[in-house]
Amino acid sequence: MRTRFAALLLLACCLLPAPALAHGADLDTMIGQMILAGFRGFTVNQRSTIVRDIRERHLGGVILFDYDMFWGAGQRNIRSVEQVRRLVKDLKAGADIPLLVAVDQEGGKVQRLKARYGFRETPSAADLGAGSDDAVREAGVVVGADLSSVGFNLNFAPVVDVNVDPDSPAIGRLGRSFSSDPERVARCAGIFMDELHRARVLSCLKHFPGHGSAGTDSHKGLTDVTATWSGAELIPYRELIAAGRADMVMTAHIFNARLDPDYPATLSKKVITGLLRGELGFDGVIVTDDMDMGAIADEYGRREAVRRAIEAGADILLFGNNLSFDEHIVEKVHALIRSMVDDGTIPKARIEASFARIMRLKRSL
């Protein structure tokens, strides 16, 4: 049964006017909405590359980080509460379609808005899952309020990976999973999401179809879970999607020969279109994990990775632009997608389908 918030979102989608350019949008606008990218800087102005990308290429979303991985320094986008509030306001001002402004604010070791910048920190998912429902709810209240107060409208959380391997370097070892019990994961995630929704912040379930059994880190290279993954890892997705509570789902860069013998989940039509859309019935926005991560960037050229992700059914391609950095990443990816539509490699109808889902989500903002 739909939650009260989900019902309100559905009503909003029907009653609110479409954002500017949502009807009769041109191809370049639709392509721009399919890209979400990171950038450098504590401030922006009309001459900033990211602002030009938003204004001229209709960039659909941005992601903020506090730490610059490429530089190896805490000099990226987040320095103080007031600075972040002004930055987000200036980014949004350049958009003719509502801009997704995202951050990874999970709690524990993965929270970009830290106490030293003036924000409130929350416990890890592992600690929350081992405690009471009230503790999970309180964490959701804190995160939702802090994000909303400075203008974020999308949190790349909660993690719904099941803690199959407590020593998994990207999940278990970092305390990012609520539990080894998939039902507990679903319950905690649902509570956390409800509080984000009350603060008018969108949530994102990750990392589909399940990263909790991975023995290696997909940031660094290909991660094979063929021998360790089980269908139980789909339970949180199945339950939350069926309840109408999922705003967005993020794909994992994991390889599972039992699901697709050829491609990792992010590039797999069998996983995204067949399993997530078909079997689980999810018709919302699907976003990739960072396309700069080693499991994708080191194994496939950018053109092939972008093409296969779109063909697989992804709606938004995430380029964190942090593991590596290219000031012109949006321009290059936009041109790449445009060239593949122009030469017939990607049908225009495929772009239109993703654009329609993105617009439906943005009407709830």
Catalytic residue from among 219, 253, 290, 292? 219
Catalytic residue from among 289, 290, 292, 315? 289
Residue 359 main-chain phi, psi, to 5 deg: -65, -40
Q: Cβ(232)–Cβ(163) under 8 Å?
A: no
Instruction: Please name the helix (run of DSSP H) or strand (run of DSSP E) that holds residue 88, with its range, or none.
Output: helix 81-93
Query: Taking phi first (over 0 means left), then psi (-120 to 50 degrees means alpha), and beta for anything else, what does residue 41 get?
Result: left
Cis ω before 23 (30° cut-off from 0) = no
Q: What is the 3-state secondary structure (H, E, C) of 231-259?
A: HHHHHHHHHHHHCCCCCEEEECCEECCCC
Instruction: Please name the helix (run of DSSP H) or strand (run of DSSP E) that holds residue 53, with its range, or none.
Output: helix 49-56
Instruction: Say whether 127 is catalytic.
Output: no
Instruction: Say whether 211 is catalytic.
Output: no
CA distance 169 to 179: 16
Instruction: Please name the helix (run of DSSP H) or strand (run of DSSP E) that holds residue 362, with its range, or none.
Output: helix 348-362
CA distance 296 to 64: 21
Kindly list the catalytic residues. Answer: 219, 289
